Amino acid sequence: DYDRSQAVDRIDDFISHSWQTGWLVKFLAMCQIYNLRAAALGSCLAAVLVFLLQLDAVSVLPNQFLPTQVRFCFWTWLVCPVVFIITALYWQEVGCSRKVFVDKFCIHQTDPVLKKKGIQGLAGFLRHSDELVVIWTSAYLTRLWCVYELASWVHLGRSRICFMPVGLVVVNCIWTFGVFVGLVMNTIIPFQSDVTSRLLKQVSIWPVILLLATFLTERHVRDVSKIEEQLTTFSIAKAQCYCCSNGHVHPVSGEAIPCD
């Protein structure tokens, strides 16, 4: 992972996150921060392109076999969700040029000397960053290094902070999944079905999506409401860190971890 990092004069974003949080939700959070705008624009452009390719003057995409009422919708329903999801997940590989600091890549995780130098240089990385990106969970303000990064940023007199709650990311993913499933069902349900049957099949997924999204939103709001209490009651003596939480033993390799 460290080999993928590079030396730069300036860092666009310093990613502050808790190692206690799963990698998948943090990846999705970063996709939402950096790729969502490109995904929305890409799917809109795909819709326009698909429409043009179906015109009689072009006729690249066949639609003669489709009923009149969905002739210009079928390919849009099929292509746009795929373009949106692929762009949302992979845009950073081709179109995102921002330089970000992620500790797992920018601090050596196996060489003890390089790791120590990286940790000791955290304040320097923060000083040369333009924005602090906080991937927040309810555990964020209980973690020693997370609070250190946030406090250092405030001490430097910086104000640019992107606050991305993981709970909100999960809710957005649920809604996106619901829309995607709805469009796919709209595409694969036989067009010869009667209107009532088609409607029931299309909306059958929405009660589940709505209940799940409501539950997750309520939990997210409860977590956010704890921020003020966590800030006012924070104590360094009670703060947690990765090494102490794992008994100073790496959970995968079994090697000893020096205490932070």
Q: Which range, of 106-120, 212-226, 242-256, averages the lowest pLDDT?
A: 242-256
Confidence of residue 178 (pLDDT cuts 50, 70, 90): confident
For residue 191, the model assigns a pLDDT of: 54
Q: What is the tens place of the pLDDT at every residue in 201-225?
A: 666 667 777 888 888 888 888 888 8
For residue 57, the model assigns a pLDDT of: 64
Q: What is the tens place of the pLDDT at every residue in 70-91?
A: 666 777 778 888 899 999 999 9
Q: Which range, of 14-23, 35-44, 195-204, averages the lowest pLDDT?
A: 195-204
The full DSSP string for the chain is: -GGG----S-EEEEEE--TTS-HHHHHHHHHHHHHHHHHHHHHHHHHHHHHHHTSTTT--S--TTS-GGGTTTHHHHHHHHHHHHHHHHHHHHHT----EE-HHHHS-SS-HHHHHHHHHTHHHHHHTEEEEEEEE-TTGGGBHHHHHHHHHHHHTT---EEEEEHHHHHHHHHHHHHHHHHHHHHHHS-TTS-HHHHHHHHHTTHHHHHHHHHHHHHHHHHHHTTHHHHHHT--GGG-B-HHHHTTTB-TTT--B----
For residue 71, the model assigns a pLDDT of: 63
For residue 204, the model assigns a pLDDT of: 67
User: Is-above-0.85 flag for pTM?
Assistant: no
Q: What is the tens place of the pLDDT at every residue in 116-133?
A: 899 889 999 999 999 999
For residue 111, the model assigns a pLDDT of: 85
Q: What is the tens place of the pLDDT at every residue in 139-150?
A: 898 888 899 999
Reading the block at residue 125, the tokens are: 């990385």
Percent of the chain with pLDDT over 90: 33
> Of 166, 155, 164, 153, which Cα lies nearest the Cα of 219?
166
Residues 6+ away with beta carbon under 8 Å from 27? none
The pLDDT of 28-42, averaged and rounded, is 93
